[in-house]
Structure 1
Amino acid sequence: MQIERLEDFIANMPKSVSTNTEKARWLYIELGKKSFYDVSYEFLNEDEEQELMYDHKDYKNPNIITCASLTDQYEKLLKIIGIESKVITDGGHRYLRFYEEDGITWHTADLTNDLKNVQSGCQTSHFLQIDSEKLRDIDKRIGYISEKKGYTDDYFEQVKDFIIKKGLKGKAQLEYILEVFHLYVKPEKMGEHELYSMYQKFIKTCIQEEKIPSFTATMRKGKNHSSQPKSKFGTKPGLVEYNMTFVDENNVAFEYILNLQTGKFQEVETKEMYHSNYQIKGIRCKRKVKF
């Protein structure tokens, strides 16, 4: 489906999508597949932020967004199909509240926080205030899932069962989780922020350890987003470094970095250091480690 402007979503909506709820859901999913959070936004200074005017950014392919621009786009789509909605601002974050035909029953839709789920085929967590099974039925009707293939996270239990069956512990368990991630999630369909967020969800869901890895995303020193070329998604490559630190049962810490070219977490070269009561492996001397 080729989408160059918002109206193209409406033109490509299947005729089988009939009710307002189904239409709102279909647009939510399809817009989410093609929208990627602009990681550079969090590192803008005030002048740059004002200059970019994100709040009313038009749809482009690829669609690089913030919560403000994505909410504005979704509101416009709902308006085209005759669904009344209202933008809600909560602590600087924006999402939508839209109403059913009766004008009384309302639902919330926060697509920005669901991008990782939509792009990986998972069950969403920020759309509609209805029973999850009813939403599953809607998703079958609009083609997001089917009788043969459910939500991606329906299959995460298989990973947990294998870990328990094989008795995997510590680092071996984490590396198994990292290895099978690509069996369930296709990084090439995701933006870098969405991919990083999905890794966090997958690892935290599957890991059977008391100590859960910690995740940090930091701006690379000396990087100026305005002078860098754009990635295939339109965001600036290499602006943000995504790291993960795992402390095993022996209090040995291992650091991993997300390779955005391969979409995989890779362990940083081993270099032993000591920090408090932790023996840290894989930490580069120039970086500080948070536990």
Structure 2
Amino acid sequence: MSYALITGASKGIGKAIAECLAQRSYDLLLVAQTEELLRKVATELGEKYKIKAQWLALDLAEQSAAQQVLNWVQQNDFPVSILVNNAGYGLWGNFNELTLNDQNNMLQVNVWTMINLTHLMIPVLLQQPQAYILNTGSMAGFQSIPTFGLYSASKALVNTFTRALAHELKHTSISVSLLAPGSVKTGFVERAGMLHLKRTSDKMALSAETVARIAVKGMFNGRKELIPGLSNQFTALMVRLLPKSVIEQIAASLYRRKD
């Protein structure tokens, strides 16, 4: 069986996608920052599903991260047929109050490493008779969100880039899909600094396992866009229909801190 390469694979949606693919007997290449968590996930999935699970601990905010991943793949001659660009995170707060360094690191992970790795891996994927790219965007990418502006902008790029790439590659052996989840029960809210929204978020959130099952099934079915949850699908429709000023006012009221 060929390999599935997954970034942000140590926890959350990435880990759940890795398990879904292991269930289908895919060997795994797991990439994330925390070595201890990666080793644990690789060992557990390898033993449970009798597959090969390799891992690479790497800070994806490094400008050379994508090249380092490609070097690892080529040096070990891994036959990769699935690329899952899942790594990403958010930062909550007013743009001018967050540090520029922190925001640039977020953009590096959410946007540039994803773009660079996709570009570098396409020739590798084209060596397979059938290959897949799954990019994790977000519901946030369908709208501008005050106090979450740069994150939503980064995911807007992921959303639109992925759909464009799907069109460009539609006559090749690579199928491209966008996963655009809403709230998911992971550590995202805590890392983003949005603890004031945790209770509301948890009420609306899907499990990472549910999102992963929808993502993997849709990817293999060749669907271009995957929005888990009927409420999220309805929201995505409303965002497209309502005036932007209305959407921004609603988003601002939902995301602001209520002291």
Given the two structures, how large is their TM-score scaled by the length of structure 1?
0.28
**Bigger share in helix:** 2
Question: Which has the larger Rg?
Answer: 1
Given the two structures, how large is their TM-score scaled by the length of structure 2?
0.30
| Structure number with higher relative contact order (C-alpha < 8 Å, ≥ 6 residues apart) | 2
